[in-house]
Amino acid sequence: SLAKRSGKPWRLHSADEGETATQQFSLMGELDDALREGHIGVVYQPKLNLVTERIDAVEALVRWNHPVRGMLPPDSFIPLIEEHNRIDDLTIAVLAQALEDMRIWCLRGLVIGVAVNISAGLLASESFANRVLALVSRTGAPAHRLTFEVTESAQFEDTGMAVAMLDRFRESGIRISMDDYGTGQSTLNYLKLLPISELKIDRMFVQHAHIDQGDAMLVRSTVQLAHEMGLKVVAEGIEDAACLAFLRTISCDYAQGYFIGRPLGAQDLADRVAEQSALAA
d(CA 106, CA 79): 33
Shorter beta-carbon distance to ligand C2E: residue 74 or 113? 74
The size of the chain, in residues, is: 281
**What mask, x for binding ligand C2E by CB under 6 A, covers residues 7 to 36?**
------------------------------
DSSP bridge partners of 66:
70
In this complex, which beta carbon is closest to ligand C2E, that of residue 240 or of residue 277?
A: 240
125 binds, among ligand C2E, Mg ion, none (CB under 5 to 8 A by kind): none
Residues 6+ apart with CB under 8 A from 200: 149, 177, 178, 179, 180, 181, 233, 234, 235, 236, 256
Q: Say if residues 42 and 98 touch (Cβ distance below 8 Å).
A: yes
- Helix-strand-coil split of the chain, %, nearest 5: 50, 20, 25
Distance CA 126, CA 168 (A): 10
Choices 11-19, 155-163, 242-250, 256-264; region in contact with ligand C2E by CB under 6 A: 256-264
Contact flag: residue 74 with ligand C2E (CB under 6 A): yes
Q: Exactly one of 97, 110, 117, 166 binds ligand C2E (CB under 6 A); which one?
A: 117
Q: How far is the CB of 200 from Mg ion (least distance, A)?
A: 5
Q: Which of 89, 215, 239, 268 binds ligand C2E (CB under 6 A)?
A: 239
**Minimum distance from residue 36 beta carbon to ligand C2E (Å):** 18
Q: State CA 162 to chain mean position distance.
A: 18
Residue choice 180, 223, 226, 270 for contact with Mg ion (CB under 5 A): 180
Smallest distance from the beta carbon of 1 to ligand C2E, in angstroms? 29
Cα atoms in the 13 Å half-sphere on the side-chain side of 10: 15
191 and 211 Cβ atoms separated by less than 8 Å = no
Name the minimum Å distance from CB 90 to Mg ion.
15
**CA distances, 200 to each of 171, 231, 234, 252, 273 (Å):** 21, 10, 5, 10, 22
- By the rule CB under 5 A, 179 interacts with Mg ion: yes
Among positions 77-136, residues that touch Mg ion (CB under 5 A) are 117
Binding footprint of ligand C2E on the chain (CB under 6 A): 45, 61-62, 73-75, 78, 87, 91, 94, 117, 119, 149, 151, 179-180, 203, 237-239, 257-258, 263
Contact residues for Mg ion, defined by CB under 5 A: 117, 149, 179-180
